[in-house]
Chain A
Amino acid sequence: MEQKKLAIIATKGSLDWAYPPFILASTASALGYEVQVFFTFYGLQLLKKKLSLEVTPLGNPGMPMPMGMDKWFPILGMTLPGMQAMMTAMMKKKMKDKGVASVEELRDLCQEAEVRLIACQMTVDLFDMDTSAFIDGVDYAGAAAFFEFAGESDICLYI
C-alpha cells in the first residue's frame, strides 16, 4: 500500500485556530500518512518558539461566553480592556481540565512524527519576521515548493 499524503495550509494565528492543523497533522502521521504543513501569513505565529496565542470573542458570535455575557453586552462588552486576556485564560484552563493537549505539545508530537513544517518565505520577508524566533527544524520555502507536494497529496486542507 502506497503511503498516503496530507497537505495542510495553515493561515490563522489565534489559539482556537492553532489546533486544527496540529491535531490533523499529528493524527494523520499516526495513521501512516506523510504530512506537510505550509504556514503562511498569520499561521506563522504557530511556529514561534514562545507562543503567545490568544482567542477573542470579538466578531465571533459562535464563541461561548460565561453567564451569557455576550447576550447582556453585545459587542460593546467584548471590547472591554482585559476581555481578550480573560477569555484566553479561560479557554486554556478549560482545555487543560478536559485533557486536551497544549498547542506546544501537539506541535512537538508533529515534529517527533516527522511532519514537515514549512514557513512561507514570502510572508517572513513581508512582515520582517525574525527567523531566530521560530522553532528549529522548520523549512523555508515558497508556494511552488508546497505545490510539488500538494499536487501529489490525497487530502489537501486550507485552514
Chain B
Amino acid sequence: MADFDQELDASGLNCPLPILRAKKTLAGMESGQVLHVIATDPGSVKDFDAFAKQTGNELMDSQEEGGKFLFLIKKS
C-alpha cells in the first residue's frame, strides 16, 4: 500500500463506528493528506465506498488482507 499520513485502527468495531472514527480523524487532517483505515467489519467495504462518494473524500484504495479490510482515503 502507498504512503499515508495517519493511521486509524478500527479493528473489532462494528457499524457505524469505523465511519464515525474515520470522519473524526479526517477532521483533524489537512487537505490532500491520506488516512489509512484498518477495519474488521465486512460491512465497512461498501460503507467506505459510500462515505467517499457522499463526502467527496477520495477512496484511493480498498483491499482485504488476512481478514482485515484496508482503506486509503485522501482528504478533499
Contact = CB atoms under 8 A, between A and B. Distances in A.
Contact of A100 (B14, B20, B23, B51): B14
Interface of A: 23, 26-27, 30-32, 98-101, 109, 113
Contact of A23 (B15, B22, B50): B15
A26 B20 CA distance: 7
A157 B19 CA distance: 21
A30 B13 CA distance: 16
15 contacts: A27-B16, A27-B19, A27-B20, A30-B19, A31-B50, A31-B51, A31-B55, A32-B55, A98-B14, A99-B12, A99-B41, A100-B14, A100-B15, A101-B17, A113-B20
Nearest to B41: A99
B26 to A, nearest CB: 10
A30 B20 CA distance: 6
A109 B40 CA distance: 21
> On chain B, which size bracket covers the interface?
10 to 19
Given A30-B51, A31-B50, 4 more contacts: A26-B16, A30-B19, A30-B22, A31-B51
A99 B12 CA distance: 5
Contacts of A99: 12-14, 17, 40-41
A109 B20 contact: yes
A12 B21 CA distance: 27
A31 B19 CA distance: 9
A129 B37 CA distance: 43
A140 to B, nearest CB: 27
Interface string B20-55: 101100000000000000001100000000110011
A85 B13 CA distance: 26
A98 to B, nearest CB: 6
Contacts of A98: 14
